[in-house]
Amino acid sequence: MMQMNQWRRVPLPGYRFWSGTSHCNDGQRALFFEMSLDDSKPRKIEKIFGYKDLSIKIYYTAGHLNTYVGTEYTAKVDQKKFDVKADNLMKPLSNVLPPGFTTSLDEFCSVLEKEGPFKPMGELLNVFSTKDKDGSLRNFEVYSGDVDTEGFKSYHERIQTFILFFIDAASFIDVDDNKWRFFFVFEKYIKDGTQDYAVAGYATIYEYYAYPEARRPRISQMLVLPPFQGCGIGSKLLKTVYDAYIPDKAVRDITVEDPSEDFVRLRDFVDCSHCMKLEPFSEENLKKGFSESMATEARLKFKINKKQARRVYEILRLRATNVHDEDEYKKFRIAVKSRLNIPFQKVEQQIKKLEGKSVSEEEIKAIVDYKSKEERLEMLDKEYKQLEEEYNHVISRLEKIVD
């Protein structure tokens, strides 16, 4: 007899992209790539109740992103016996999947046969190649457009589904706002003797106003689909975004909205690879400390804001530092910790002001984020060590392009 606890909540499935129609009906199709959700990062939508051995299959065509959703399970909870209903499988999915998806594999295969080669829309901005693990060359193209570009709005509506599963706390954007700009990267390949395209990733940029007559683009979302990760596509896409805005004198700088750890590393790498070519970031100047010329050059040449320019300086200075030279290494650590200590200094200033107003110690602790000297030093040391580890990841990647 089946027990109630066997109807546990199960994670949603992986995805497949399809690029051919051979053996479609028996499910043994030629597939472009396959990926699975990251179960280590639980999300609300990933849990479904009431099924045993549940499998949900979501198929996308590689270029057009036409979609099929299929479900399989060995048993379903008996509502009469347990007085509970199994979750509706399609309702939550229909809220996030591209409109017009099918639950019929035969219909999906029929769509595949009729759709023909995919042609990217928008303006072609960049063409590049990368090497696969087996040494074979793969070719990519980056296209850009806005909400008025024919086909962009509906295509973004299809691809944005992926961010819910691969970017923490992601949400859909209001594409009716004409300040959005889109960048799509596609792999160009030959299928059955015909040129075709498969989507590999995309980025969305919102162009904010900057006083008095400037713009400040903010990178809102950026995703490289898992099978394409690890071969430099992310950095190529980000550099293409930079290249699109760098010549525009009306653009003050480029910012990022709530970046993930992975994106922070990617941005650091791209920004450092740019700035290490600038004179203010030479090894000699790096050891003199952060300067206004660094911030100015980074902004004028690459639209990098001052806060990020400071981070770039620290990474490049660590790269130029002989960590085996105690004096040289100590000077670097002091330079970084002096910045990390600024929030604590501001708190100390607040405390002095409050003490001047005869506020009691208990009241001060309730008003400000009070930390003892020992606590501050411990926090500084921990934060510094974490930063140095992050910086070394970027430096390791920089060494590969220098070599």
Q: What is the DSSP letter of 135?
A: S
Closest by alpha carbon to 319, among 399, 403, 400? 399
Residue 199 structure tokens: 């989507």
294 three-class SS:
helix
**CB 17, CB 53: distance < 8 Å:** no
Question: What's the maximum distance between 2 C-alpha atoms anywhere in the chain?
Answer: 83
Q: How far is CA 367 from CA 66, 358, 373, in A?
A: 55, 14, 18
Distance CA 160, CA 162 (A): 5
Task: Just list the catalytic residues.
Answer: 257
- Positive or negative, the CA dihedral 251, 257, 263, 264 is positive
Distance CA 32, CA 55 (A): 20
Distance CA 249, CA 180 (A): 19
Distance CA 89, CA 143 (A): 35
Distance CA 347, CA 368 (A): 7
What are the residues facing 185 on neighbouring strands? Answer: 142, 201
Helix ranges (DSSP H) in 49-139: 79-82, 90-94, 105-115
Distance CA 225, CA 221 (A): 13
Distance CA 218, CA 53 (A): 43
Alpha carbon distance, N-terminus to C-terminus of the chain: 65
Q: From the DSSP assignment, how many helices (H) and strands (E) are in the chain?
A: 14, 14
Question: In degrees rounded to 5, what are phi and psi of residue 212?
Answer: -95, -35
Q: What is the DSSP letter of 251?
A: B
DSSP percent split of the chain into helix, strand, coil, nearest 5 = 45, 25, 35
- Binding-site residues for acetyl-CoA, please? 229-235
